[in-house]
Structure 1
């Protein structure tokens, strides 16, 4: 199953993500490992909650600016993959904080 998922991911062309909101969201996702390290080094778990709020804000900006369902199936798949990455990072962030998130709201 994992191999099928990896093959599906390999077919997504993330270079199609060029809108400023997409790039800002990708940059924010890239900050996650550094926020974990900084939070541990400074013994400041509030960094993780602030990061989660900032990521949610970046996602909101992206979602309002960029249509996910589009006629360009490649772009749509790339945006869906970006959304999945946000979902994974938020879940991991909440796990670090010891918080359970609902699947649906």
Structure 2
């Protein structure tokens, strides 16, 4: 039994897998990238204003926090990306609400700017 030219052609161009318009798209990779971008932006803003010794302290704290976040989220029951997004948003809020001392000795917080 032969399929014929049109049957073969139809099979050859049929999509292997195409999401239907009704299927939700996974936006978590974009949400995580956005959360990381926002955190990094605020982190850089704080670093730029800190005294040298405080910059070193914040860098060390951020490295420890990243290690904690990644290890903590490996235990997540849900998708790890959901945990990473949540923890990253929480860290950004911490950075924004913390009071720091700038190079001139003035106290600042990103939340009050």
| TM-score category, normalised to shorter length | 0.3 to 0.5
With structure 1 as the length reference, what TM-score do the two structures score?
0.34
Larger Rg: 2
